Amino acid sequence: MILVLALAAALWGVGAMMGAPRAVRLNMVLLLYVAVLALHLVLPDAHPLRMATGESAALWLILGGFVVLVLAYRWGLRRLREKAADAQAVPQPVIGPMTEVELNRYSRHIVLREIGGPGQVALKNARVLVVGAGGLGAPALQYLAAAGVGTIGVIDADVVEGSNLQRQVIHTDARIGMPKVFSAQAALEALNPFITVRPYHRRFDADVAAELVAEYDLVLDGTDNFDTRYLVNRTAVAAGVPLISGALSQWEGQLSVFDPARGAPCYQCIFPQAPADGLAPSCAEAGVLGPLPGVVGAMMAVEAVKLLTDAGTSLRGEMLIYDALYGESRKITLTRRGDCPVCGGKG
């Protein structure tokens, strides 16, 4: 038996020196084992070859069984390691793609159970379009950037004026005369260098609406004219993108999430047609409390973060109304209209 084991060791060593693959060397040793076992099963007990290779086949069968057990154990161990490696290779809902600086920056979000690491990653990967960089757009943009929304688009055709600064705190006196979108871009990039800001210095009109909205996951409308509000609504409904809409008047603000694709009404369900001239005066005509856009714009940003992280309950199918003069807020339920020309029969 010692002679056969020495021969097996010699075959293995010679094969290794010749550079033979491990599988070839194993096959050579296995062939030797089979040959020896066959000799013991075929030749008579007193045959010299049997005497030279261990006399009894039982010893070889025991040795073969032991080797099989060792190989089976090693195979099973390798399979377990492969499964563990595969499990580690599957993307986990944790904060993987963030730097240490970002982890520290968003730490107060990450410790919130409703947001956590996965929610912050969702914010980082999100794309949000804000229509209007004025009273409502300004605070919404600032809090979206601070929250870590990865890509923020802002579209507005206006330039910064002195009369804006009483409430549009994203702009500064030094930037009077600058297009609002570039003023906002400068402020947002200074606030958070880890985000991408896309400024569009133009009106939100039918020429660009559909193509622009298709690039984003969520739209915030902070405009102050009904033509643009209706266009934003139609475009968002057609794209299946949720729309967070806010409005202001003197001491009162309101906001809602319009999302027919998920069962909520659209803007035109609630406001079928624009009010007659004089019934809904602009901020320039009726005035507006300076901090009020900050309150409502921040609420719009809150709704955006909730939608993007799937946290809490959004204002789908509800409108929140805030009365700053008396410090009151209330919510009303909104219902879809089956005959709505924009979303009727959709969702």
Q: What is the pLDDT of residues 265-277, one digit of tens each?
A: 999 999 998 887 7
Q: Is 316 helix (H, G, I), strand (E, B) or coil?
A: strand
| Residue 263 contacts residue 296 (beta carbons within 8 Å) | no
Looking at per-residue confidence, does 284 or 51 come out higher?
284
pLDDT at 90: 39
Q: Is the pLDDT of residue 77 over 80?
A: no
Q: Is the pLDDT of residue 333 over 70?
A: yes
Spatial separation of the C-alpha atoms in residues 58 and 70, rounded to whole Å: 18
| Mean pLDDT of all residues in 160-173 | 95
Q: Is the pLDDT of residue 199 over 90?
A: yes
pLDDT-derived band at 84 (thresholds 50, 70, 90) equals low
Q: Is 346 helix (H, G, I), strand (E, B) or coil?
A: coil
| Residue 221 contacts residue 131 (beta carbons within 8 Å) | yes
CB atoms near residue 76 (< 10 Å): 10
pLDDT at 120: 95
pLDDT-derived band at 66 (thresholds 50, 70, 90) equals low
Non-local CB neighbours of 333 within 8 Å, separated by 6+ positions = 317, 318
| Mean pLDDT of all residues in 283-294 | 87
| Residue 131 contacts residue 223 (beta carbons within 8 Å) | yes
- Residue at 74: amino acid letter: R
pLDDT at 234: 96
Q: Is the pLDDT of residue 290 over 60?
A: yes
pLDDT at 74: 72
Looking at every residue in the chain, the average pLDDT score rounds to 84
Residue 240 zone, left/alpha/beta (φ > 0; ψ -120 to 50; rest): left
Q: Is the pLDDT of residue 213 over 50?
A: yes
Helix (H) or strand (E) holding 292: helix 292-309
Q: What is the pLDDT of residues 182-194, one digit of tens each?
A: 999 999 999 999 9
pLDDT-derived band at 69 (thresholds 50, 70, 90) equals confident
Q: What is the pLDDT of residues 218-261, one digit of tens each?
A: 999 999 889 999 999 999 999 999 999 999 999 999 999 999 99
Q: Is the pLDDT of residue 140 over 80?
A: yes
Task: Say which DSSP state 272 is in.
Answer: S
Q: Is the pLDDT of residue 289 over 80?
A: yes
Q: What is the pLDDT of residues 175-184, one digit of tens each?
A: 999 999 999 9
